[in-house]
Chain A
Amino acid sequence: MDNSKRRFLKGCGGVIAGMSVYTVTQTPQANTTEQASELKYAMVHDENLCIGCNACEDACRQVNHVPDGVTRVNIERSGPFGEYPNQSYRFSRHSCQHCEAAPCVKVCPTGAAYIDEETGIVAVNEDRCVGCQYCIAACPYQIRFINPETRVADKCDFCQQTQLSEGLLPACVLACPTNALVFGNLKDPASALVKTLKSKPTYRDKVDLGTRPKLFHVRTIDGEIVL
């Protein structure tokens, strides 16, 4: 009995030693810092300008071939607030926030959910996805869904596959009749995006979760004051 215990402990010791050697060899060298990308896409939704026409949703559906019954972007309407005739609604954009620390990317077992290093876009590798729906459950913004045609986790990718690859702005931005959507490079100080962010007060959803979302909102001036 003693002998077997000793052998088991020896084995455990071997495993621990092996693991520590492995982790030591895995630590990155100090002088091999990666070249950081000059591109990081983000979006602002100005809720004061938005009129809730849903042109963004229709354009997205058309360009990205999103089937009926599911959607990548959704404008949520709340209200009316105030007494007639001074009534107003509030419109809020519900779509992928392209988090810097994306929970969906963290939990995806196969790496099908990933952050594109070039652009900072949270994207989906359709070939890798098996449809475990862990990413859908993990997303605190609840914006991922299973595409009924491809049976793969789907969501907004800032039109990475469609518009951006042709050098165009995302379909929702182009379709917006009131210019409520501003899309651009966070790292470019001259971009319309950064100018908007610097000139208007914005908020982001659920920042306390530490996901660092890249979808900014300009809050409606009208509308309800909620405690």
Chain B
Amino acid sequence: MSAFHFDGLVWHWPIAIYLFLAGLSAGAVFFAIMLKHFKLADKAYLSPFVQAAAVIAPIAVCAGLGILVIDLTKPLAFWKILVFYNTSSVMSMGVLVLLVYQVMLFAWLGSVFSTPIQQWLKQRLPLLNKLLALLARHEDVITGVLVILSLSLGAYTGFLLSALIGFPLLNNPVLPLLFLISGLSSGAAATLLGGVLMRGNPNGVEVRFIHRIEIPMILVEIALLFTFFAGLILSGGQSQVAALNAIGEGFWGWIFWAGVVGVGLTLPLAFNLWMKVSSDRKFAYVAVTASFSLIGVLLLRNFILYTGQMTAV
């Protein structure tokens, strides 16, 4: 039994990448909205961080869905998922959320960036100008719906796996919450990294705002991760076997302790605390902290997906 090939393995790493990208998109949108609402208001479109989120969110969700479609055994039949729905299927409901999410995402981008886009268009394409004006008028509703959809999308990837009743590690009520919080933190990290790469001020209000949320978010993530495994171990039986198999010795144990806990949680937490104390943020600190968070979440997705399928009831 090797780490990446074993009996009973159905979903491989492309699914983990998709889970990562969907959470990242949801998180980036969530933080862009928070930045605009609490800090930047009408000047939001000028912020490199909001701009970064505006680029990252649609690309991440589209790339993730692209990977998902290619991973089907009949990629050309993917449209059937969009036509036929099954209300008892988490995946089917997720497809619905993803569809509406993408529509609302582009609507929100249109409303937030309507001023610069209209300036760029001048009076060409009058129809598009009208649409942008309409979106800008309804920005409050679009924002509210998009917040709900981004949180739904973040949790959905967890529900997708927790519906698999044959695998005790996945069929776990904490998993959707864990995926939601880690997805949000990956979105925050991507927004920060993209923002500083687009010459955003690493000591600006945006970074300070996100970092203030990031510390409690990492702490919550650690608590959720602890609850996740403590719950499995205390339930005994195959749940206990699955948990100890995952975080014990071996390849995935290393990935968990060194990758997820070390690089993904402990180091970003330490850096964040240190930056809070030093009150002076530099490009390298912000970029490295964000990269560690991203690596950690990507490893977490792979870790859960693979170790989850290793132990069946």
Contacts and interface: CB of A to CB of B under 8 A. Distances in A.
Contacts of A80: none
Interface size class of B (residues with CB under 8 A): 20 to 34
A141 B90 CA distance: 20
Given A142-B8, A151-B74, A107 B89 contact: yes
A138 interface: yes
A53 interface: no
Contacts of B88: 106-107
Interface string A129-162: 1111110111111100010000110000000000
B84 A128 contact: yes
A109 B313 contact: no
B91 A132 contact: yes
Interface in A101-128: 103, 106-111, 128
B80 A128 contact: yes
A137 B164 contact: yes
Interface in B45-90: 72-74, 77-78, 80-81, 84-86, 88-90
A12 B149 CA distance: 13
A208 to B, nearest CB: 8
Contacts of B84: 109-111, 128
The interface size bin for chain A is 20 to 34
B165 A137 contact: no
Interface stretch (A1-9, A31-39, A89-97, A178-186): A1-9
Contacts of A221: none
B309 interface: yes
A209 B313 CA distance: 9
A122 B34 CA distance: 47
Contact of A109 (B86, B139, B312): B86
Contacts of A108: 86, 89
A183 B8 CA distance: 28
A140 to B, nearest CB: 3
A70 B10 CA distance: 15
Contacts of A111: 84, 86
A200 interface: no
A172 B139 CA distance: 63
Nearest to B84: A110
Contacts of B167: 137
A140 B168 CA distance: 11
B91 A107 contact: yes
B77 A138 contact: no
Nearest to A210: B165
Given A107-B163, A110-B80, A131-B77, A11 B86 contact: no
Interface in A152-207: 152, 206
A95 B143 CA distance: 50
A140 B81 contact: no
A70 B144 CA distance: 49
B12 to A, nearest CB: 10
Interface of B: 8, 10-11, 72-74, 77-78, 80-81, 84-86, 88-92, 95, 139-141, 143-145, 163-167, 309, 312-313
Given A111-B84, A142-B8, 16 more contacts: A103-B164, A107-B164, A109-B81, A109-B84, A110-B84, A110-B85, A110-B86, A110-B92, A130-B78, A131-B72, A132-B72, A133-B11, A138-B164, A139-B166, A141-B166, A152-B73
17 contacts: A4-B139, A5-B140, A107-B88, A107-B90, A107-B164, A108-B89, A109-B85, A110-B92, A130-B80, A130-B81, A134-B89, A137-B166, A138-B166, A151-B73, A151-B74, A206-B313, A209-B166
